[in-house]
Amino acid sequence: MTAHRLEFRGISKSFGTMTVLDDISLTVNDGEFVTIVGPSGAGKSTILRLLTGTEKASSGDIVFDRQPLSESAATFAFMPQRDALMPWSRIIDNATLGLRVQGMDRKAARAIVKPLFEPFGLAGFENYYPAQLSGGMRQRVALLRTVVQKHDMLLLDEPLGALDALTRTQMQEWLQTMWADHRWTALLITHDVREAVFLSDRIYVLSPRPARIIREIHVPVPRPRKLADLADASVRDIEADILETLLHRPS
Ligand SMILES: Nc1ncnc2c1ncn2[C@@H]1O[C@H](COP(=O)(O)OP(=O)(O)OP(=O)(O)O)[C@@H](O)[C@H]1O
């Protein structure tokens, strides 16, 4: 039987008279990479804010490991679109920040983070400052800071959105490899359909606001994936299908 970690059951959310989310039901299974794609302003970030506790649903239930989220001890590691690194702190201190906030002392936090500098392509940059790193490297620091935190699920809000196209593509390939190695349970939000197809096991497509789920698409491409897989006809069909849904949404 599939192990759902996260379930949204009929979630709606309004701000005043404006309905943003309308009867959203979705699941994320253990070790699964799920992506939500949708038009700008549809309500994608609001979905993540319901999980981080910044917003509350107007109706419906959020369940984590079969418990209401409000009663569960689930922890989410959240990575925002901007890297949000502290410019005055060295990379090692930025990378350990999440662990320090969770109460770990500096030595223990460094011991966890340091071995990951190599696989994250950051070896030798421990004592640099964020301004001395490229955009792609800064995003890797932000992701490193996110994944080392004690978490049940990663929440990624357009984590590559601020990068140029080439760096973004390189980061997608790198992120895919990292995910294949670690199998974090992950919920990604993106506008980028190719990115969604390349990274995900499953994709939910949202309508414009008020956001409803209008498609759920499985991506049956074996892992590990290579960028060349995107050229495969079956993958291009999935991408075209999602774009068609977004552009000419069925009622
Ligand atoms: N706290 C709030 N109060 C009032 N309106 C809000 C609030 N938070 C979000 N909204 C509105 O809800 C809608 C959805 O916002 P949200 O940020 O979830 O969209 P999004 O799909 O993530 O957008 P984008 O892709 O452009 O980042 C927007 O119209 C936004 O203005």
Tens of pLDDT, residue by residue over 8-44, are 999 999 999 999 999 999 999 999 999 999 998 899 9
Amino acid present at 154: L
Nearest to 95 by CA among 115, 74, 71, 70: 115
The domains of the chain, with CATH numbers, are: 4-75+152-247 (3.40.50.300), 86-151 (no CATH)
Whether the CB of 54 sits within 6 Å of ligand 1: no
- Which mutation among 11, 20, 35, 193 tests ligand 1's pocket best, with the greatest number of atoms within 8 A of CB? 20
For residue 191, the ligand 1 atom closest to its alpha carbon is 25
Cα separation, 171 vs 133, in Å, equals 15
**Cis amide leading into 159 (omega within 30):** no
User: In this structure, which residue's CA is closest to atom 18 in ligand 1?
Assistant: 43
Hey, is 124 helix, strand or coil?
Answer: coil
Hey, is 163 helix, strand or coil?
Answer: coil
User: In this structure, which residue's CA is closest to atom 5 in ligand 1?
Assistant: 15
Cα separation, 41 vs 159, in Å, equals 17
Question: Residue 47's Cα: distance from chain center in Å?
Answer: 12
Query: Distance of CA 145 to CAs 109, 116, 138, 150, 244, Å?
Result: 10, 10, 11, 11, 36
Does pTM top 0.95 for this prediction?
no
Flag whether the ipTM exceeds 0.90.
Answer: yes
Pairing mode, strands 186-190 and 202-206: unpaired
Q: Is the pLDDT of residue 116 over 60?
A: yes
Whether the CB of 42 sits within 6 Å of ligand 1: yes
Cα separation, 210 vs 212, in Å, equals 6
Query: Distance of CA 54 to CAs 50, 57, 132, 141, Å?
Result: 6, 10, 32, 24
Q: What is the mean pLDDT of the chain?
A: 91
- What mean pLDDT comes out for the span 191-203? 94
Which pLDDT belongs to residue 167?
81
Whether the CB of 41 sits within 6 Å of ligand 1: yes
Comparing 120 with 47, which gets the higher pLDDT?
47
Least trusted range by pLDDT, from 48-57, 62-71, 174-183: 174-183
Which pLDDT belongs to residue 251?
46
User: In this structure, which residue's CA is closest to atom 10 in ligand 1?
Assistant: 15
Number of CB atoms found within 10 A of residue 79's CB:
24
CA of 115 to the centre of ligand 1 (A): 38
Whether the CB of 94 sits within 6 Å of ligand 1: no
User: In this structure, which residue's CA is closest to atom 31 in ligand 1?
Assistant: 41
- Which of 19-56 are b and which e, b meaning 16 or more Cβ less than 10 Å from the residue's Cβ? bbbbbbebbbbeebbbbbbbbeebbbbbbbbbbeeebe
Which pLDDT belongs to residue 164?
82
Least trusted range by pLDDT, from 7-11, 66-70, 87-91, 225-229: 225-229
CA of 154 to the centre of ligand 1 (A): 21
Q: Which two tokens stand for residue 2?
A: 């599939």
